[in-house]
Amino acid sequence: MDGGVKAMTAGEAMDEPVEMAEAPEETGPQRTCIVTRAVRDKSAMIRFVADPQGSIVPDFKGDLPGRGYWVTADARVLAEGLKRQVFAKVSRGKARATADLVTRMGPLLERQILDQLGLAKKSGHLVAGFEKVEAALRAGQVKLLIEASDGAVDGRAKLARLAGSGVEIWAPLPSAALAPALGREHAVHVAVKPGGMADRLAVTLRRHAGFQPDPATGATTAD
């Protein structure tokens, strides 16, 4: 673990008691998960805050007011936290989470992916369509290769072969979901150029992956 901190595995840490006292807000690039007590980079976690009514809501951008409660971006970890009522414990009863918080996370993160793709397109940091994506890959101008999850295997495989080691490949959503965000009738192949937008979208994609069904079982990690 970075910084010399030895983190427990999720399975080991689930058995550890959660501290009851409300600790000060942490600073720096890493945070401690309130469920597992593991110390991780913020990009691998999700910040939650209490709204004015005291209900826990996700703060994906990390800019909502109030004390932040950080949880590893994994459905199983969050589900365990809800079972153990960790938000109420660490906030000394000031905050509460609804039982459907885990199931709400996937759709909320999907919306953020689509919003970020739309912004990338408007700013000129995104190209779509097989030929344009292929050209961008050959020119080394791609940070993220995003494919429709229902796209043709042969086309996806060809572009994947062109992607270098520095290109992240994701298939988070079907074409019908991607197309409207990009103002297109169809969207199968999308490339995002290197830069801040790609970095922020990559974080969202990783978080989103933690709340998706297991491809082998069809169940989420929280089930």
**Tell me, what's the pLDDT at 79?**
97
Give which of 169, 177, 174 is closest to 202, Cα–Cα: 169
The DSSP line for 17-58 is: PPP-S-PPPP-SSEEE-TTT--EEEGGGEEEEEE-TTSBEEE
pLDDT at site 8: 40
> What CA–CA distance (Å, rounded) separates 48 from 33?
11
Structural domains in the chain, CATH included, are 2-99 (3.30.1230.10), 105-209 (3.30.1330.30)
pLDDT at 28: 75
pLDDT of residue 13: 41
How many residues appear in the chain? 223
Token pair for 154: 């042969």
- Coil, helix or strand at residue 143: coil
Residue 164 has a pLDDT of 86
Query: For the chain (length 223 residues), average pLDDT per consecutive 10?
Result: 39 41 64 96 96 95 93 97 96 93 97 97 97 97 97 96 94 97 95 97 97 59 48
- What is the pLDDT, as a whole number, of residue 26? 64
Instruction: Determine the pLDDT at residue 11.
Output: 42
